[in-house]
Structure 1
Amino acid sequence: MKREQEIIHANESSSSKDFLLGALVGGVVGAATALFLAPKPGRELLHDLNGQAGILKEKGIELTDTVKEKGSEFISIAKDKTDQLSNAVTKTSAEIMDKVKKTKGQENMSARFDELKEEASDLSSSLKNAEFDEIQQKLEETKRAFDETESKYNH
């Protein structure tokens, strides 16, 4: 949405610049046409031409100043937007890196879970011949170890 607004603003600024240039050119052409079509003596015509040239020179200077001012504004806006974009990219990449690290930690936890499951399975098969109480005790120890490991990875 902001991007679209910036494009619209840039187009409006460009249109206003084109309008000013068109108005200036139209003024020059209109003034020249009026001077050439009006019947005047030579000195008066020369005086009018010099006056119009002075006016055009002033308008040209004003237009140059306006263009410089607008150019400076656009440069400032572009720098600000570049800084904002740079900050947004930096923030987003940091968030992505955090997510990747968390995912990697979960993969490690999953591998540790599989190891503990395998150890429990091995322990279970090796204890088949032991008494029921001993088996129960070993299973509880294994469960506690598993719960501790799981709580370490979850917290």
Structure 2
Amino acid sequence: MSKKSGFLLGAIIGGTAAAAAALLLSPKSGKELRTDLLEQLDDLSEGKAKEYKNLALEKAEEYDWLGETIHQRYDQAKLTSAEMMDQLKEKASQASKEFETSSKHIVERPEEIIELTSSDIATDLTDVIEGEIKAD
């Protein structure tokens, strides 16, 4: 298969080189030569443009399903993020209410808080010291 493709490529390159040589060596004026070259280039470009257009249309049909899938996933992600945002707002509201309640409790009864905190610190320190003694 590679010999055939190599031959085909060689034939195309050789044909192009022969055409270019014939044009360059022909007894035409520069203006005529440029006109001929531009015409051939337009013909070649037009053929390639048609090939690419056909290929693009073919691929567009082949991957038509992809656009629908992307839209579905986008809509799903949008819905999920909206739900997550609502949950986050609710949790933030709950945390705010708990903080407000705790703050009021601290302001209303600071003696209890100080007493609880002192005993907690003493218990924590005792646990740490006992842990260090046992470790040694």
Relative contact order, CA 8 A, sep 6+: which one is greater?
1
Q: Same fold (TM over 0.5)?
A: no
TM-score normalized by the length of structure 1: 0.34
TM-score normalized by the length of structure 2: 0.39
